[in-house]
């Protein structure tokens, strides 16, 4: 029963984060109430239950049948599983926070090639409460400011994201995250036709972070 509770809590938080990514900062996250972006019909209770509503209505709006991206359902399922792992004592609160931050910033970066500083600040303020060392955080934030002032190949948002990870992850892990993220980014650029179009890098760093977590869990060389 507890597992169900943790899963629905995680799925509901993911649903809220999806709304934040869709609306903030251009629009209010409170008003108007949840509605279909295509026909603007206000969503009823039966259309707002994470995952189940999308399965029941076949990922389409109940009123106009316009397709709803399946990514919402996938994100809700992922967060549901993360909360279950946390609830079962298989994941620390700091890791859960880092993963939620990674998911949110990666979605922003994919959509807009940037993310709002306020969203980064909310997650980072919470992580600061649990940090043991702030030196790498300070250095990476400084790089972020420099990258903002003098545009480089790597964006300031990438440095700020790494800075937040460094509050919990050790130096070697951060180096591995950068290394794996770069490999994944290079493979993606090489496999695309338009090689000069900039890519969102936070999703690759986030993938590197997840892989490092998995390797640590499996006791592989980290």
Which residues contact Zn ion by CB under 5 A?
A: 36, 38-39, 61, 63-64, 66
CB of 53 to Zn ion, least distance (A): 13
* Nearer Cβ to Zn ion (66/171): 66
* Nearer Cβ to Zn ion (52/63): 63
60: β partners: 67
* Nearer Cβ to Zn ion (25/44): 44
Among 77, 164, 88, 81, residue whose Cα is nearest residue 126: 164
CB of 60 to Zn ion, least distance (A): 8
User: Cβ distance 16 to 108 under 8 Å?
Assistant: no
Q: What is the DSSP letter of 152?
A: -
- What is the Cα–Cα distance from 183 to 205, expressed in whole angstroms? 10
* Nearer Cβ to Zn ion (63/87): 63
CB of 39 to Zn ion, least distance (A): 3
CB of 41 to Zn ion, least distance (A): 5
**What Cα–Cα distance (Å) separates residue 103 from each residue in 32, 120, 195, 204?**
25, 12, 25, 11
- What is the Cα–Cα distance from 102 to 203, expressed in whole angstroms? 8
Tell whether omega for the bond before 32 is within 30 degrees of 0, i.e. cis. yes
Give the H/E segment covering residue 73: helix 71-87
CB of 31 to Zn ion, least distance (A): 19
Among 11, 15, 8, 6, residue whose Cα is nearest residue 84: 6
CB of 40 to Zn ion, least distance (A): 7
* Nearer Cβ to Zn ion (38/217): 38
**What Cα–Cα distance (Å) separates residue 108 from each residue in 18, 19, 208?**
10, 11, 17
* Nearer Cβ to Zn ion (57/143): 57
């Amino acid at each position: 029963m507890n597992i169900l509770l943790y899963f629905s809590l995680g799925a509901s938080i993911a649903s809220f984060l999806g709304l934040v990514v869709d609306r903030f900062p251009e629009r209010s996250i409170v008003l108007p109430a949840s509605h279909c972006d295509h026909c603007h019909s206000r969503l009823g209770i039966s259309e707002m239950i994470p995952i189940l509503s999308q399965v029941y209505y076949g990922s389409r709006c109940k009123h106009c049948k316009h397709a709803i991206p399946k990514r919402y359902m996938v994100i809700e399922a992922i967060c549901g599983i993360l909360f279950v792992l946390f609830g079962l004592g298989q994941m620390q609160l700091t890791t859960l926070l880092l993963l939620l931050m990674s998911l949110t910033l990666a979605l922003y970066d994919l959509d807009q090639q940037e993310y709002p500083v306020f969203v980064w600040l909310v997650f980072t303020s919470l992580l600061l409460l649990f940090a043991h060392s702030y030196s790498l955080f300070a250095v990476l934030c400084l790089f972020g400011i420099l990258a903002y002032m003098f545009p480089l190949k790597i964006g300031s948002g990438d440095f700020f994201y790494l800075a937040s990870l460094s509050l919990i992850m050790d130096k070697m892990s951060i180096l591995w995250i950068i290394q794996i993220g770069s490999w994944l980014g290079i493979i993606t650029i090489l496999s695309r036709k338009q090689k000069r179009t900039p890519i969102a890098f936070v999703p690759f760093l986030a993938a590197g972070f997840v892989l490092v977590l998995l390797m640590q869990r499996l006791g592989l060389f980290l």
